[in-house]
Amino acid sequence: MPQVIKCVNCGYVLYKGNDLVPPREVIKKFHGKCPKCASTLNQTPISIDVQASKGR
């Protein structure tokens, strides 16, 4: 199941993939800032959306 990490401020997808990555690794990759809205990314302003495999 793919993991999606988004900026909660603007919804920009910071990471999407099948590998589960810790949010702080993603934050580090973007140097602590959302590339789109430039808001500071901390642990919390990130939305992790793990899409479950097929629902009903």
Query: How many residues at the interface with Zn ion, by CB under 5 A?
Result: 7
Binding residue for Zn ion (CB under 5 A) from 14, 27, 34, 46?
34
The dihedral formed by the CA atoms of 33, 35, 37 and 42, expressed in degrees to the nearest 10: -20
- How many angstroms from the chain centroid is the CA of residue 3? 8
DSSP string, 21-32: --HHHHHHHTTT
Site stretch for Zn ion (CB under 5 A), options 2-10, 13-21, 24-32, 46-54: 2-10
Q: 4-33: which residues touch Zn ion (CB under 5 A)?
A: 7, 9-10, 12
Q: Which residues sit at the interface with Zn ion, rule CB under 5 A?
A: 7, 9-10, 12, 34, 36-37
